[in-house]
A and B are shown apart, each in its own frame.
Chain A
Amino acid sequence: MKTFLLRRILFAIPLIVVVTFITKSMLVLAPGSYLDSLYGTPGISQEFIERQKRFHHLDTENVFERYWFWFWPAMRGDFGYSFRYRASVWGLIGERVVNTLMLTGAALIFSWGLAIPLGVLAAVRRNSWADRVCSFISFFGLSIPSVFFSLLMIMLAAKSGMFPVGSMRSAYWDELNAWGRFLDLLWHLALPTVVLGTISLAQYMRQMRSEMIETLSQDFIRTARAKGLSQSRIVWRHAVPNAINPLVTLFGFSLAFLLAGALITEYVFAWPGLGTLVYESLVNKDEPMVMAAVTMLVLMLVAGNLIADLLLALIDPRIRLE
């Protein structure tokens, strides 16, 4: 177990280095920098900009040099200052990470919480109307573009007035007590969660259904039936634990997928998460911010994959982590 964890962490380091290096080189190759937008601004002298350029090492186009100037302080936990907000990147990014994790977490709970029971239902009652409804949901979810789905949801929210049309908090957030704040947050989370979770829901439901169908046709299920076990015990105690393994492996991928998908959802719903931050920072060429955000994203992905492996070992006694 310990060696497994250690090995995984050691493998994660080159991944992080490679990904941040690719990001940095793409940012270096991109024309212009944040400071270019300051030229011609009254009150900012040419020399000041040149000095700033040297200070932030923006005067060199050498990718390796630039990466090193980022990498070395970052190794010691210093991710620099955001050009745009003129504040430490760490202070700005923390809240955004929490917000994104909240949204993706809610989407995970939504998609897995529905996908497993619906997938089981569709497999047990094959070709029934329930199965057909599930297959409709899965085709719908796989095909609807998140941009379009988000816009439809906002339209619904605006027309019905039942849900907020964007952002994360109500204007009267400060006056609420802890419970009220929690409910307010859930209320704002509802629509983006549905949008973000539906695609994954569709995928996992299909996967769960086909795994269940396969498992239910196996010999040990026939044995269980012959023993006279009840249907629910056969399904939930004998079939599901065996059918669920491939899905748990998907968990790591699903996190990557949700994080990538969160960009559009956050953008449309004005959710102050990592996605909107990366987008804004890219538009403003706020390099330290983009670098820190990408590092956080990759760290979250690595953590997600690790959690998936640990979960798999936890629920499947045949798998040992070594």
Chain B
Amino acid sequence: MAETVAQIHPLVESARSRGGLSPSQIIWRKLGRNRAAMFGLYTLIALYAAALLAPFLAPYSYTDADTKLPFYPPMIARIHLFDEEGRLSRPFVYGIKPEDNELKTYSDDRSVKYPIRFFVRGDEYRILWIIPSKIHLFGVERPGRIFLFGSDQLGRDIFSRILYGAQISLTIGIVGIIISTIIGVVVGGVAGYFGGVTDFLLMRGVEVLLALPSLYFILIMRQMFASDASSTSVYMIIVLILAFIGWATEARVIRGMVLSIKEREYVIAARALGLGHWRIITRHILPNTLSFVIVTATLSVPFYILGEVALSFLGAGIQEPEASWGNMLTAAQNLWYLQAFPWMVTPGFFIFIAVMAWNFLGDGLRDAADPRTIS
């Protein structure tokens, strides 16, 4: 059986002539030469690692609000390396002196210096949700504050909230894509393999889903669930809604592939050997669509990330005080905030970077998985 597969699959064939590389090795090699794709991959690794280690990397917790210091501008450019006499010292920030309570302006209180310390003790959290710890990567002693990206309307650290928000906004893409890929592969596989009435009905369903203006339906579906649900269930609701709309694209791609694969000799051979439908679909047909499944999945992740952002931005998604990149932007809608405190839109940059990285990686994977491009 393996022999038959090897003779037919174009990737395997080209691998043989080039000295025994497996298809996945070829794809990895091609991907490794694509600079944009590798840039995307490394960016994603960094972002997801940051999300995983958020409580450790963030100096404060996402609820830690200093109500006396709302809209404090970003400190990242005001970390001092030289003291008053121009000598190099360990990095420090000055104390904060509120200037105008109405306009929320501040000035440096030069009488106190707070050196930035590494591996400091702060709020308690759990490493990877298991091991309790108090160590944070960096921080300053109280009552000093370090707001790398500034503070929001309640005096919470935007940098910390972006890290915590990444846990929600970035994982929604992965969880959503896993759910919708499973549905898409099963529906697409069944529709393509059996054809006939099954195919007709399933594909009409897919067409209806593709014809819907998705965001409206996501909003309408969201109304079915109580708005005061706990944050975990809101997260699951959002993922399920997005996956419910999103699987249609995948199902259509898989169906098309299955239609052509089921006519191949090795499938006919499997059928002649008397294998069951289920075994043929799962063992002989679907594995051959794997590279396309991965490419489609990678290219669809942005849909989930942007979907969460849109829902949370409209107030129908993740609720305060929980942080997500979408609901952090809600406050930035206020024209005064937007004009006077432009750092409120910082989460938007991170959404942009994450979506771009997924697009780069997806594009690179598509080129790499295409047997016609021999590099």
Interface residues of A (CB under 8 A from B): 15, 18-19, 22-23, 26-27, 29-31, 139, 142-148, 151-152, 154-155, 158-159, 165-166, 256, 259-261, 263-264, 267-268, 275, 278-279, 282, 285, 290, 294, 297-298, 301
A159 and B339 in contact, given A148-B345, A151-B348 (Cβ under 8 angstroms): yes
Select one of B211, B223, B226 contacting A298, CB under 8 A: B211
In this complex, how many residues of chain B approach chain A with their Cβ under 8 Å: the count is 37
Q: Are B329 and A142 in contact (CB under 8 A)?
A: no
Instruction: Indicate if B286 sits at the interface (CB-CB under 8 A).
Output: no
A-B contact count (CB 8 A): 111
CA distance A275 to B226 in the complex (A): 22
The reply to whether A147 and B219 contact each other, CB–CB distance below 8 Å, is no
CB-based contact B335/A165 at 8 Å: yes
Task: Give bound CA distance, A30 to B237, whole Å.
Answer: 14
A148:B215 contact, CB within 8 angstroms = no
Residues from chain B with Cβ under 8 Å of A23 in the complex: 217, 220
Known: A15-B208, A145-B309, A148-B351. A297 touches B356 (CB 8 A): no
Instruction: Give chain B residues whose Cβ lies under 8 Å from the Cβ of A264.
Output: 215, 310, 313-314
* Residues of chain B within 8 A of A151, CB atoms compared: 329, 332-333, 338, 345, 348
Chain B interface, >50% SS class: helix
What residues of A have a CB within 8 angstroms of the CB of B216 in the complex? 260, 263, 275, 278, 294, 297
B314-359 interface (Cβ within 8 A of A): 314, 326, 329, 332-333, 335, 338-339, 342, 345, 348-349, 351-352, 355-356, 359
With A154-B335, A297-B216: A26-B211 Cβ-Cβ less than 8 Å? no
Cβ-based interface call for B302 (8 A): yes
CA A214 to CA B332, docked complex, whole Å: 45
Report the minimum CB–CB distance from A167 to chain B (whole Å): 12
Closest 4 pairs between A and B when the two form their complex, measured CB to CB: A148-B348, A143-B356, A260-B213, A30-B223
A15 — which chain B residues lie within 8 A by C-beta? 208, 211
Out of B214, B223, B332, name the residue touching A27 (CB < 8 Å): B223
- 24 CB-based A-B contacts, threshold 8 Å: A19-B211, A27-B220, A30-B224, A139-B356, A142-B355, A145-B306, A145-B309, A145-B310, A145-B348, A145-B351, A147-B309, A147-B326, A147-B351, A154-B338, A155-B339, A158-B335, A256-B212, A256-B213, A263-B215, A264-B314, A268-B333, A279-B219, A282-B223, A298-B211
Centre residue among B214, B223, B306, B332 by max chain A CB count within 10 A? B223
Q: How near does chain A come to B68, taking the closest CB pair, in angstroms? A: 26
Residues of A within 8 A of B306 (CB): 145-146
- B221 on interface, CB distance cutoff 8 Å: yes
With contacts A31-B226, A151-B333, A301-B213 taken as known, whether A278 is within 8 angstroms of B219 at the C-beta atoms is: yes
Other than the given A264-B310, A268-B333, 19 more pairs (CB < 8 A) read: A26-B220, A30-B223, A31-B226, A143-B356, A145-B306, A145-B348, A145-B352, A147-B313, A148-B352, A151-B338, A158-B335, A158-B339, A256-B212, A260-B213, A260-B216, A263-B213, A282-B219, A282-B220, A294-B216
Residue of A nearest to B208 (CB): A18
Structural contact, A158 and B213, CB atoms closer than 8 A: no
| Chain B neighbourhood of A147, CB < 8 A | 309-310, 313, 326, 329, 348, 351
A290 in contact with B220 (CB, 8 Å): yes
Q: In the complex, A148 Cα to B332 Cα: how many Å?
A: 10
Q: Determine whether the beta carbon of A155 is less than 8 Å from that of B345.
A: yes
